[in-house]
Structure 1
Amino acid sequence: MKKMRFLSLAMAAAMSLSLLAGCGGGTAKQPESSSPAGSASAAFKLGGTGPLTGGAAIYGNAAKNGAQIAVDEINAAGGAIQFELKYEDDTHDAEKAVNAYNALKDWGMQISLGSVTSKPCEATSSETFADRIFALTPSASSTAVLEGKDNMYQMCFVDPNQGSASAQYIFDKKLGTKIGIIYKNDDVYSMGITDTFKSKAAELGLEVVSEGAFADGNDTDFSVQLNEAKSAGADLIFLPMYYTPASLILSQAKAMNYAPKFFGVDGMDGILTLEGFDTSLAEGVMLLTPFNADSTDEKTQNFVKTYQDKFGEIPNQFAADAYDCVYAYAAALEKAGCTPDMSAQDICEKLVETFPTYDGHEGVTLDGLTGEGMTWDQTGAVSKAPKGMVIENGGYVGMD
């Protein structure tokens, strides 16, 4: 089975990259588009949209930065596959994401990283399907992103898998007997995970004793939801959300002397880097995530060091998933025999044929930062194992 083993590429490129790396604690400003040395026509044009400004910018910039590191490594290694990367800002808005996508199409995008967050990616995935541009999103996890689109793939877990896997993990590890849930009811990411969590919990016999919802505009005061969970005797609260509201929930629970266990999903990865957040409040928080920046394996350590040198912070799961996306593309393009002079449509049809693994057909297999032996089925969903993490002494510690 052909695997894209990128550690050797990273090591070969390390000396070149060290000359490019910044120093100190500031965040380096990166260009919107990065080309390999020489003619841009010798490179595949890779584009993506994400929230580079606004309240969700931490996710979009992480994905962009992770993808940039992979592009730099691959280009510096000097192989047949080279990339030119360009990201456009969608501010976590579906309409703006389509405008950003159209700008990338005008630029000549041949392959896409889709959009970083789910609602914008639902919109842009319809565009890539209609235009026959292959897309592999690092982190848009809604099932609607994939449905009915043979050329749309995900590096992250789909929402149903996260919900059911979280319930199974809580059950298997005996982490709680009475479960409270706090979720965002105007967000497809949070709702999708919540629905499958509840379904799996019922199947397993986990008792869900409270459900508290919130939406944009009432996402700063969680006293009602926390008091309901406390009154119902919840000893574990499931938080299927991103880490900004989660940080407020942890703070407010502490203020009311309520100390249940807290269990989150991949959107909470990065809470320790949230500006102004007291990280001691996250001690003991558990989550499922495919990436652990504190892992001691060489691939992760090299990535984290490069990321810190270039951008002045610890990478989160969004950065790692985007990094893996670029390497998956490199493997797929090589396996499919694609060249940069091909049209986006021709590349798309080659990748649709090459990428998935099914019925004896060997597709792309990737040993990446977020999983070993990752493969994709014909729906575009990735197969990889989540990792249970708990926050201890200001860092992630594996639970398995």
Structure 2
Amino acid sequence: MKKKLLSLALAGLMVLGLAACGSGGGDSAGDSGNTTSTAQGAAFKLGGTGPLTGEAAIYGQAAKNGAQIAVDEINAKGGDIQFELRYEDDVHDAEKAVNAYNVLKDWGMQLSLGSVTSKPAEATSALNFEDRIFALTPSASSVATIEGKDNVFQMCFKDPNQGAASAQYISEKKLGTKIAVIWKNDDVYSKGIHETFLAKAKELGLEIVSDTTFADGNATDFSVQLNDAQSKGADLVFLPMYYQPASLILSQAKNMGYAPKWFGVDGMDGILTQKGFDPALAEGVMLLTPFNADSSDEKAQAFVKTYKEKFNEVPNQFAADAYDCVYAYYEALTAAKATPDMDAATLCDLMMKTFPTLKFDGLTGTEMTWDATGAVSKDPKGMVIENGAYVGLD
């Protein structure tokens, strides 16, 4: 009882601290600490880990911010479903993600948003499975995140789906005749997309003229990869990677006078807001992503407006996916008639039964469904960067 009272007291102090430091009632986009939202009554404890600091912080901060907006909206309704949200920093590191997960578990987490990036998520999803705490990750897309774990679900496309969908899109739109691929061999995200892209490209008859790779130790000089692509006449380069190395590739290609078409994946979402990056270098870059901040959709416009007001920047796909995660939980908990006095294991069973029955409309897709493996079904959107903004290709 004393431990519970101490936890509640600490949570209350944390909320007061956030209220004192925040702007407009929300976290600042640069805040690297965790987030705790207090509901109007009894609430479900919802926790997640993500890179809130470090090179991948743009992803973790976006996910945290998107989830925060959804929690604030739901709690403001004052209904039976309320949330208390807490994020812990994992610095895009699997070991630190495990430590962050354990902090959340000690806090009393009942439902999880998993981890934001794939390698940390593979580590924490194993703990979700072991502890029977249901997880719905906004953006960790590796197959291993959900494989063999019946209580871990994804809001994002699985890596194989991204690879195959990208090849299909390039083929259907006739975007390139000779294609080069540059990928990162020590990153499960990049590796998974690369493998399925090649398989689908072969099936569709796409000509892959260059297939080169890199790792952390040589992720600054891409002259070998670019020279190989250029010398073999590649008119489109596929980049299954996060935006940091992609930004260097775009810059170095310009310096050597190589100007193919560029096609990326959802990990490149965020490149336009990278510090020190010239957005003009990304002009014409195409990618598949489930969210378009420039959409005329009323729900998307409202989200973007709120996000800009709270965090002074345009939300990316990671923010939208996390927002959708919270609302998907809201619908699943409502449908299951769940109550916050239920323990994590009971809620886990309910969520496992309920999610495969949902048809969910969110920012990142309509009539989304989940199968029993935790994989989501929704349609990607083709985007191209024009004048520093995403524009629909379709």
Normalised to the residue count of structure 1, the TM-score between the two structures is 0.91
Deviations 1:222-281 (A, max 9, x none): 111000000011000000001111111111111001000000000011211111111111
Contact 1:138 1:322 in 2 (8 A): yes
Q: Where in structure 2 are there 5+ consecutive unaligned residues?
A: 1-21
Return the offset for 1:164: 0.3
The answer as to 2:383 corresponding to 1:373 is no
Return the offset for 1:30: 7.9
The answer as to 2:215 corresponding to 1:195 is no
**Residues 1-400 of structure 1 mapped to structure 2, 5 A cutoff:** 22=24, 27=29, 29=31, 32-39=34-41, 42-356=42-356, 363-400=357-394
1:78/1:389 CA distance change after superposition, 3 Å: same
Amino acid at match of 2:91: T
Amino acid at match of 1:393: N
Amino acid at match of 1:33: T
What residue in structure 2 maps to residue 13 of structure 1? none
Return the offset for 1:189: 0.1
Return the offset for 1:28: 6.2
Amino acid at match of 1:35: S
Amino acid at match of 1:79: G
Return the offset for 1:52: 0.8
CA distance, structure 1, for counterparts of residue 159 and residue 302 of structure 2: 29
> How many percent of aligned residue pairs carry the same amino acid?
74
The DSSP-based 3-state class of the residue aligned with 2:319 is helix
Return the offset for 1:305: 1.0
Return the offset for 1:77: 1.1
Return the offset for 1:217: 2.0
Q: Which runs of 4+ in 1 moved over 4 A?
A: none
CA distance, structure 2, for counterparts of residue 340 and residue 21 of structure 1: 29
Contact 2:30 2:61 in 1 (8 A): no
What residue in structure 1 maps to residue 16 of structure 2? none
1:37/1:376 CA distance change after superposition, 3 Å: closer
Q: Count residues in correspondence.
A: 371
What residue in structure 2 maps to residue 360 of structure 1? none
Normalised to the residue count of structure 2, the TM-score between the two structures is 0.92
Contact 2:58 2:270 in 1 (8 A): no
CA distance, structure 1, for counterparts of residue 373 and residue 29 of structure 2: 37
CA distance, structure 2, for counterparts of residue 161 and residue 145 of structure 1: 14
The structure whose RCO (Cα within 8 Å, separation 6+) is larger is 1
CA distance, structure 1, for counterparts of residue 132 and residue 29 of structure 2: 36
Contact 2:40 2:78 in 1 (8 A): no
What residue in structure 2 maps to residue 12 of structure 1? none
Amino acid at match of 1:366: F
Amino acid at match of 1:338: A
Q: Where in structure 1 are there 5+ consecutive unaligned residues?
A: 1-19, 357-362
The DSSP-based 3-state class of the residue aligned with 2:365 is coil
